[in-house]
Amino acid sequence: DRYQRRVHGGAGLMGHGIAQTASLNGLPVTLVDVDQAYLDKAVKTMAKTGQQAMDFQVKKGKMKPGAAARHLKDSMGRVTTTTDLAALAECDIIVESIIEDFDAKRTLYSKLNNILAPDAIIGSNTSSYSINDLGNLYDRPGQFCGMHFFNPVLVMALVEIIRTDATTDRTYNAARKFSKLVGKVPVSCKDTPGFIVNRLLVPYLSQACLMVDRGDATAKDVDKAMRLGAGMPLGPMQLADFVGLDTCKAILTGWTQKYPDEKIFQMPKLLEEIVATGNFGRKTGQGFYKWENDRPVEM
């Protein structure tokens, strides 16, 4: 089956997570980025998180230590890194996970038009842009869809599959099959802002920030209330830190610009102020909370 032969993901947080999930499930991966330093960092991170995943399997009694070590070594051997986009000519499925910048995606797709195999498909991992708008940037829109994975990719089981008006049945079915091959559960959604999860989640997070903006409650008490009163494992401020405050802001920026009359899409001043300082939450070690070793230690 050609769709088991070669997969691509970018080298950022989501990209290398998708690539690692694919390689751990037996698929060869080509990881492409513009900067070799990002690729080197991605490989080191994949080795670390892969070891953690194998240790967990051993602890649960699902794998023997020797088998876990061999599985990790084999999976890392299936990962090829390069700064040369031309390497994607051999890929069957390209999972685009570059920066959430429309012009950057436009530039990438224009290059891919002349590189990809005629039957290759692109699945964009965007969380903020219309899949129809992105698909129209590609010369073969029928071979384009949304494939939205969740962070951390090794842990989160869901993939949202989004069809454009032009997406063919072959592309849609291939995206669903690929999701299952890498151990995920696909769900389908129309090209609505935020798809399913973020359409419900991001307004929840922004409303929490707006409560703090208005002085209705402190950020600490908002989180405590939602954990103890609504049974949430994380309060909205901690969850926003985990998702990435820059990501939340990028999503809301796109929504407020494209849907100015949708009252639920509002940009909190608190979110803008924290992102402006360069503090994005867990990924930078500081957001609403201070983070150490991927864990919040104080607000």
Of these residues, 75, 124, 127, 130, which one is catalytic?
127
Considering the candidates 23, 75, 198, 206, report the single residue annotated as catalytic. Answer: 198
Tell me if 220 sits within 8 A of 238, measured CB to CB.
Answer: no
Q: Could you confirm whether 96 is annotated as catalytic?
A: no
Q: How does 106-128 read in b/e, with b if 16+ C-beta sit within 10 Å?
A: eebbeebeeebeeebbbbbbbbb
Q: Look up 160 and say whether it is catalytic.
A: yes
Between CA 93 and CA 103 the distance in angstroms is: 22
C-beta separation of 22 from 149 below 8 A: no
Going along 56-172, which residue ranges are E strands? 79-82, 93-96, 121-124, 144-149, 158-162
Beta strands 295-298 and 290-292 are antiparallel
Strands in 19-110 per DSSP E: 29-32, 79-82, 93-96
Q: From the centroid of its chain, how far is CA 75? A: 20
Among candidate residues 96, 128, 160, 179, the one labeled active-site is 160
Task: Single out the catalytic residue among 23, 97, 148, 279.
Answer: 148
Q: Could you confirm whether 75 is annotated as catalytic?
A: no
List residues with catalytic annotation. 127, 148, 160, 198
